[in-house]
């Protein structure tokens, strides 16, 4: 009985040790799978391997037993050919460009209508209005378009070299400020349709000047919204708030900053085209990795990239992660698409005979081809402007050349039309014969 009990106790101990070892092995396997399935970063990874001690003879028996029943296999699940995140991200990008273009054209038409009303009232008013643009609108020129490459490159290098937790926090603060301004501008523009009295009543605020009551009512909500996102930005659904702030910011910028003609738009997109290719592909030979992709991933930080991008989680991808698109891939082509829509509205062109429909379709096609190339390249980052710029500019230039309007598009930025306020000016002036008779 003693020997039998000893054997049972011994076997029980062996099985306990064996199960403990197997459970530790499984735990190590799961930890390794979880960590290695994440994106590769430059920061050091620490691993904790469970371990235990036992007599040498028991260890040998466990090793022999494990060699008989265990094997090692590597598991690499296949990614879906098309993830729903890419579809929704494409819809978000194209929808943002469409909404921003419509708002930009509507604002330009409202400014022209207001100017014509002032000119109709009298020629003395026209002298103050003539030559003045819409308030708050910034028209970029060729020099500023070319400076984009220099400024953007310097900023990207700064992001790459200074990328750390504190620098990400600084970017979050900057993004929140821009997001609050963009969200406030969009909400005020939408709500002013229903709350006309609040939008038209102003109060003077120190350091800010005259602010409408509607703006004062909306601003606290925008600030709280951005602050809550900044605090809880690492939560699973924080990407929704980030995308809302980002879209509002992009729409506001496209409404404020304008491309006056196709010449400036071509210079801007051409510079952005070279910028994107250089920092995605060529920078690998200089920095041993793609600077653009490293910054977008947020290497050396605990964040999922910089906040200046739209992102949607890949819900049906076993590897997880996010599908992302930078603000520049939406904002810069969006400026040219918005110019096309303003041109169509100024010339009272139909949707088919204008340029907006075709330029917007070209942008969507270029972005679609970007995602196709991304999947063909097994998920390696692609410069979106490499595909978007040729489609967008090529479509506008070819249509303008075919219709004989390329010169107007390139230099003037507006179609040939009769100036409607000349009649008002002629009506305000006395006839020459009547003036001579009075003398």
- Which residues lie closer than 8 Å to 163 by C-beta, 6 or more apart? 294, 295, 298, 299, 300, 301
* Enclosing H/E stretch for 274: helix 262-277
- Which residues lie closer than 8 Å to 409 by C-beta, 6 or more apart? 261, 262, 343, 355, 396, 400
Active-site amino acid positions: 276, 329
Which two tokens mark 105? Answer: 């054209």
Rounded-to-integer distance, Cα 235 and Cα 229, Å: 9
- Which residues lie closer than 8 Å to 153 by C-beta, 6 or more apart? 275, 279
- Report the half-sphere exposure of 160 (CA within 13 A, side-chain side): 19
Tell me how far the alpha carbon of residue 287 is from its chain's centroid.
25
Cα-Cα-Cα-Cα dihedral of 371, 372, 375, 376, to 10°? -140
**DSSP helix/strand/coil, 337:** helix
Name the DSSP class of 431: P
Rounded-to-integer distance, Cα 199 and Cα 43, Å: 50
Rounded-to-integer distance, Cα 234 and Cα 247, Å: 19
- Which residues lie closer than 8 Å to 343 by C-beta, 6 or more apart? 349, 354, 355, 356, 409, 413, 414, 415
Rounded-to-integer distance, Cα 297 and Cα 318, Å: 19
Other residues' Cβ atoms within 10 Å of the Cβ of residue 20? 14
What Å distances lie between residue 92 and 236, 275, 303, 337, CA to CA? 19, 24, 23, 16
Other residues' Cβ atoms within 10 Å of the Cβ of residue 288? 7
Task: Note the helical H segments in 132-237.
Answer: 142-162, 165-191, 196-200, 213-231
Nearest to 394 by CA among 353, 363, 352: 363
In this structure, are strands 257-258 and 202-205 parallel, antiparallel, or unpaired?
unpaired
């Amino acid at each position: 009985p003693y020997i039998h009990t000893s054997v049972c106790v011994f076997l029980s101990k062996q099985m306990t040790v064996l199960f403990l070892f197997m459970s530790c092995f499984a735990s190590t396997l799961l930890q390794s799978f979880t960590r290695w399935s994440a994106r590769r970063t430059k920061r050091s990874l620490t691993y904790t391997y469970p371990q235990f001690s036992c007599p040498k003879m028991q260890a040998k028996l466990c090793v022999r037993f494990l060699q008989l029943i265990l094997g090692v296999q590597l598991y690499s699940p296949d990614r879906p050919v098309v993830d729903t995140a890419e579809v929704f991200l494409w819809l978000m990008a194209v929808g943002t460009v469409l909404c921003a273009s419509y708002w930009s054209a509507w604002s330009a038409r409202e400014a022209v209508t207001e100017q014509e009303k002032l000119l109709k009232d009298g020629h003395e008013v026209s002298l103050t209005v003539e030559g003045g643009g819409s308030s708050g609108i910034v028209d970029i020129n060729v020099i500023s378009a070319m400076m984009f490459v220099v400024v953007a490159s310097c900023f990207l290098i700064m992001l790459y070299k200074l990328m750390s937790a504190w620098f990400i926090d600084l970017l979050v603060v900057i993004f929140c400020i821009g997001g609050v301004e963009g969200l406030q501008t969009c909400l005020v523009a939408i709500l002013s349709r229903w709350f006309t009295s609040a939008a038209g009543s102003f109060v003077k605020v120190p350091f800010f000047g005259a602010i409408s009551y509607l703006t004062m009512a909306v601003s606290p909500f925008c600030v709280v919204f951005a602050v809550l996102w900044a605090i809880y930005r690492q939560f699973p659904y924080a990407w929704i708030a980030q995308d809302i702030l980002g879209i509002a910011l992009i729409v506001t910028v496209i409404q404020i900053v304008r491309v006056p003609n196709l010449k400036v738009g071509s210079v801007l997109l051409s510079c952005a085209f070279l910028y994107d290719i250089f920092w995605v592909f060529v920078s690998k030979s200089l920095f041993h990795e793609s600077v653009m992709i490293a910054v977008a991933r947020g290497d050396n930080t605990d964040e999922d990239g910089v906040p200046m991008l739209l992102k949607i989680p890949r819900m049906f991808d076993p590897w997880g992660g996010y599908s992302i698109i930078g603000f520049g891939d939406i904002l810069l082509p969006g400026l040219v698409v918005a110019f096309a829509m303003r041109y169509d509205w100024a010339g009272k062109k139909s949707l088919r005979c204008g340029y907006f429909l075709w330029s917007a379709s070209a942008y969507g096609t270029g972005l679609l081809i970007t995602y196709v190339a991304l999947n063909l390249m097994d998920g390696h980052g692609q410069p979106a402007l490499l595909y978007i710029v040729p489609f967008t500019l090529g479509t506008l230039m070819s249509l303008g050349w075919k219709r004989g309007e390329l010169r107007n598009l390139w230099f003037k930025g507006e179609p040939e039309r009769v100036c409607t306020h000349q009649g008002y000016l002629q009506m305000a002036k006395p006839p020459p014969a009547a003036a001579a008779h009075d003398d």
